[in-house]
A and B are shown apart, each in its own frame.
Chain A
Amino acid sequence: MAAVEYRRKAEVMDGQAIDRALTRIAHEILEANKGCGNIALVGILTRGAVVAERLAERIERIEGVGVPVGSLDISFYRDDVATRLSPEVHRTDIPFDVEGRDVVLVDDVLYTGRTIRAAMDAIMDYGRPCSIQLAVLVDRGHRELPIRADFVGKNVPTSRRERVRALFEATDGAADTVEILEEVEAR
């Protein structure tokens, strides 16, 4: 079976659009939680962690206080471990007690919801949070589990044959962008 190739079809968010969306989400998180007294952000590795860091910066700018930020690797919680290994396992780093916190899970792209299911299980193994909320930069639809994001940067209708990819300067060395890739037709 040959590897499927993809080519860039369109850009759905540029750097500015990402910035504006993150600023809005930061305000929405603060509004929904009545401030940042009890919240903690947990980004799903790798790109969710970048988004979480940026949200934390904005929240700090708005409220003048820092919020705890952690990063979560969900490789060991995936439901497809038997068929697929994560190419790289990263270290989970949650430097605060999740017990009783309002944990905001952060990811770049929300698709089937399976990653979020795994992440919720992982969080629960650290303690019993008061609540778990979900913030994503892009929601591309096609859920396979009853999961819904509380804070969404942009809803992007896609087909299952397409891929949505977020690139960040911190992880990819490229200018910030969210783009849709489509399969290249076999010749």
Chain B
Amino acid sequence: MSGLTSRHIISMDDLTAADITTVLDTAESFKEVNERRIKKLPTLRGRTIINLFLEPSTRTRTSFEIAAKRLSADAINMTGSASATVKGESLRDTAKTLSAMACDLIVVRHAYAGAPQVLTECMDAHVINGGDGRHQHPTQALLDLFTIRQHAGRLAGLRVGIVGDICHSRVAGSLVPALRTVGATPVLIAPPTLLPARPDVLGAEVAPSLDEALPELDVVYLLRVQMERAAGMPFPSLREYARFWGMNEARLSSARPELLVMHPGPMNRGVEISSAVADSPRAIVLDQVNAGVAVRMAVMYLLLGGEGGGAAA
């Protein structure tokens, strides 16, 4: 008996509402482990986990690596520059090579949407999507749900405003369906140039401005302005963006007193979030980072545990 309905976590579509609850509840136990002096469990001793990060990342890769090590798995990091991809090896061949080394689980980050799916087709290992292009970043959504539940005590019925570059964001790509699965309402808040062409397809509400939407929100989730992807200049200036779409103290005063301010990091202080807000007690950004390790431990445990039994009793 395995813990989840899917062998892989590629997108939030792989997880049912019950799966999400299982992950979050399991993560609660791992969070307790992370508060101990000895932050290590023998659970995945002898299992091999490869972090294949073909796009720059420090926090997500570190978080996955810590999670694997705290479960006593052997974690190996492979980054773009160190892998054979720079020598021209195809993703399929990289996958087959790693498969031949008998790794049990692979976490992949890739610039192209669909790369993790390709891996599932050419290797036996479990695959976790660590972020693929503009598609999805499911463990980020899971840790966000964990953090919201931790602070608000529930998920169903909450209104969560997602502000910023919805169009290019894999964080939003996972968070929107995740919120819908658990019965919360995602509200997309962005300049029209950063909204997808058909926001209705996502099943999210769209609000015309941050100021109008804010008083009704339980959570405001600020997406990073992706300087590297904003080459086509979807808004006139960073200053203008900060003025209309950034979270600052004045806006905070018009929101509910229990409003939670979240950000997937790394933050651009003074753009999507002012320094005062980022350092205020309403901002739970570091709790998100903290939850990341526990949630990633939970998905590793649930994917790798209980598989050898075969015969479903």
What is the CA–CA distance of A126 and B37 in the complex, to the nearest angstrom?
7
Q: Closest B-chain residue to A127, C-beta based?
A: B37
CB proximity to A under 8 Å, residues B36-73: 36-38, 40-44, 47, 71
Contact of A85 among B40, B71, B305 (CB under 8 A): B305
What is the CA–CA distance of A35 and B21 in the complex, to the nearest angstrom?
44
Q: Closest A-chain residue to B31, C-beta based?
A: A91
CB proximity to B under 8 Å, residues A86-113: 87, 89-92
Count how many pairs of residues, one from A and one from B, have CB atoms less than 8 Å apart in the complex. Answer: 62
B309 touches A126 (CB 8 A): no
What is the CA–CA distance of A162 and B71 in the complex, to the nearest angstrom?
34
| Given A76-B43, A125-B40, residue A85 in contact with residue B306 (CB < 8 A) | yes
Q: Is B83 an interface residue (CB 8 A)?
A: no
Contact of B29 among A83, A84, A85, A89 (CB under 8 A): A89
What is the CA–CA distance of A90 and B26 in the complex, to the nearest angstrom?
8
A85 touches B1 (CB 8 A): yes
What is the CA–CA distance of A128 and B309 in the complex, to the nearest angstrom?
35
A66 to chain B, nearest CB (A): 23
Residues on B with beta carbons closer than 8 Å to the beta carbon of A4: 313
Contact of A81 among B25, B306, B311 (CB under 8 A): B306
Q: Is A77 an interface residue (CB 8 A)?
A: yes
What is the CA–CA distance of A154 and B135 in the complex, to the nearest angstrom?
60
Q: Is B308 an interface residue (CB 8 A)?
A: yes
What is the CA–CA distance of A90 and B308 in the complex, to the nearest angstrom?
23
| Given A85-B2, A127-B37, residue A121 in contact with residue B309 (CB < 8 A) | no
Contact of B307 among A75, A82, A125, A126 (CB under 8 A): A82
B179 to chain A, nearest CB (A): 24
B308 touches A76 (CB 8 A): no
What is the CA–CA distance of A89 and B31 in the complex, to the nearest angstrom?
13
Residues on A with beta carbons closer than 8 Å to the beta carbon of B264: none
Q: Closest B-chain residue to A99, C-beta based?
A: B37
Residues on B with beta carbons closer than 8 Å to the beta carbon of A81: 43-44, 301, 305-306
A161 to chain B, nearest CB (A): 16
CB proximity to B under 8 Å, residues A62-81: 73, 75-77, 81
A89 touches B43 (CB 8 A): no
> How many chain A residues touch the partner (CB < 8 A)?
21
What is the CA–CA distance of A83 and B304 in the complex, to the nearest angstrom?
9
What is the CA–CA distance of A77 and B33 in the complex, to the nearest angstrom?
12
> How many chain B residues touch the partner (CB < 8 A)?
30
Q: Closest B-chain residue to A3, C-beta based?
A: B313
B1 touches A75 (CB 8 A): no
B308 touches A83 (CB 8 A): yes
B310 to chain A, nearest CB (A): 8
What is the CA–CA distance of A3 and B313 in the complex, to the nearest angstrom?
5
Q: Is A186 an interface residue (CB 8 A)?
A: no
What is the CA–CA distance of A1 and B309 in the complex, to the nearest angstrom?
12
Q: Is B32 an interface residue (CB 8 A)?
A: yes
What is the CA–CA distance of A91 and B3 in the complex, to the nearest angstrom?
17
Residues on A with beta carbons closer than 8 Å to the beta carbon of B44: 81
Residues on B with beta carbons closer than 8 Å to the beta carbon of A75: 29
B302 touches A77 (CB 8 A): no
B29 touches A76 (CB 8 A): yes
Q: Is B124 an interface residue (CB 8 A)?
A: no
B2 touches A121 (CB 8 A): no
A63 to chain B, nearest CB (A): 30
Contact of A84 among B25, B32, B71, B306 (CB under 8 A): B306
A89 touches B42 (CB 8 A): no
Contact of A91 among B29, B42, B47 (CB under 8 A): B29
Q: Closest A-chain residue to B45, C-beta based?
A: A81
B313 touches A1 (CB 8 A): yes
A164 to chain B, nearest CB (A): 19
What is the CA–CA distance of A125 and B34 in the complex, to the nearest angstrom?
12
A85 touches B42 (CB 8 A): no
Q: Is B74 an interface residue (CB 8 A)?
A: no
B62 to chain A, nearest CB (A): 22
Residues on B with beta carbons closer than 8 Å to the beta carbon of A85: 1-3, 301-302, 305-306
What 4 pairs across the A-B complex have the smallest Cβ distances?
A85-B306, A83-B308, A85-B305, A76-B43
Apart from A82-B305, A83-B306, A85-B3, 5 more pairs, CB < 8 Å: A1-B313, A81-B301, A82-B47, A91-B32, A125-B41
User: Can you list 14 A-B contacts (CB < 8 A)?
Assistant: A1-B311, A1-B312, A1-B313, A76-B43, A81-B305, A81-B306, A82-B47, A83-B306, A85-B301, A85-B302, A85-B306, A89-B25, A126-B36, A126-B37
Interface, chain A (partner B; CB < 8 A): 1, 3-4, 73, 75-77, 81-85, 87, 89-92, 121, 125-127
